[in-house]
Amino acid sequence: VTADMMIEFIGQDGAKTCEELAGKFGISTRKVASTLAVVTATGRLARVNQNGKFRYCMPGDNLPAEPKAALVTESDGKAFPQPAGAALPVREAATQEEIKTETVADIVQPLPSFTETQADELIFPSLRRANLALRRAKSDVQKWERVCAALRELNKHRDIVRQITDSSRRVVSEK
């Protein structure tokens, strides 16, 4: 069983799940999923989440927003018809479009490490510069985590800290 055979079958019969393809070709669902992962990565098939199940379809034929009952799942008589509201909600599709339209400038502009040095000319940062900023941020986070841990320990022993500070004030005032 090859990827081309699965693509041809999906092209003829419409969108299918891994389980449906595995039943059709008599192979495991893991084998189907592995094969289809490569095919979707190359863009020969599209993977669409419909009611929590991934369906594979031809790139131009994305599943309708409101499928008719039994339209998509009807293949060999074994599949059960799906209710009409089985597709992803329209709001989630709009969210994905919003994510796609977000520009690099929208992402980079709020980051002070990029805007401080390049305020006049906001350009794409190099990968090296972005990784450097990420390392610095992680280092800062680690430093603040150590500070918080030290403050937690000091707060556990407030009485001792208060006694030390009071006694040191007395020594300073005596001099």
Contacts of 154 (CB under 8 A, 6+ apart): 161
Q: Which two tokens stand for residue 64?
A: 């309708």
**Which letter, b or e, does each residue of 118-139 get, where b requires 16 or more Cβ atoms within 10 Å of its Cβ?**
eeeeeeebeeeeeeebeeeeee
Which tens digit of pLDDT belongs to each residue from 58-67? 887 655 544 4
Give me the helix-helix angle, 18-25 and 3-13, nearest 10°: 110
Mean pLDDT confidence for 7-33? 91
pLDDT of residue 60: 75
Q: What is the mean pLDDT of residues 14-23?
A: 91
Residues linked to residue 49 through DSSP beta bridges, in sequence order: 54
The predicted model scores a pTM of: 0.37
Tell me the one-letter amino acid at 128: R
Q: How far apart are CA 55 and CA 66, in angstroms?
A: 15
The amino acid at 130: A
State the pLDDT confidence band at 175, using cuts at 50, 70 and 90: low
What pLDDT, on a 0 to 100 scale, did the predictor assign at position 120?
A: 54
**Between the CA of residue 168 and those of 134, 153, 161, 164, what are the distances in Å?**
41, 20, 11, 6
Count of residues making up the chain: 175
Whether 109 and 120 have beta carbons less than 8 Å apart is answered as: no
| pLDDT tens for each residue of 124-169 | 778 888 899 999 999 999 999 999 998 998 899 888 888 888 888 8
As a whole-number percent, the residues of the chain with pLDDT over 70 amount to: 63
pLDDT for 126 equals: 84
Report whether pLDDT(56) > 80. yes
Average pLDDT for the chain: 74
pLDDT band at 86; cut points 50, 70, 90: very low
Residues 49, 91: Cα–Cα separation, whole Å: 14
pLDDT above 50: residue 121: yes
Quote the CA–CA distance of 23 and 29 in Å, as a whole number.
8
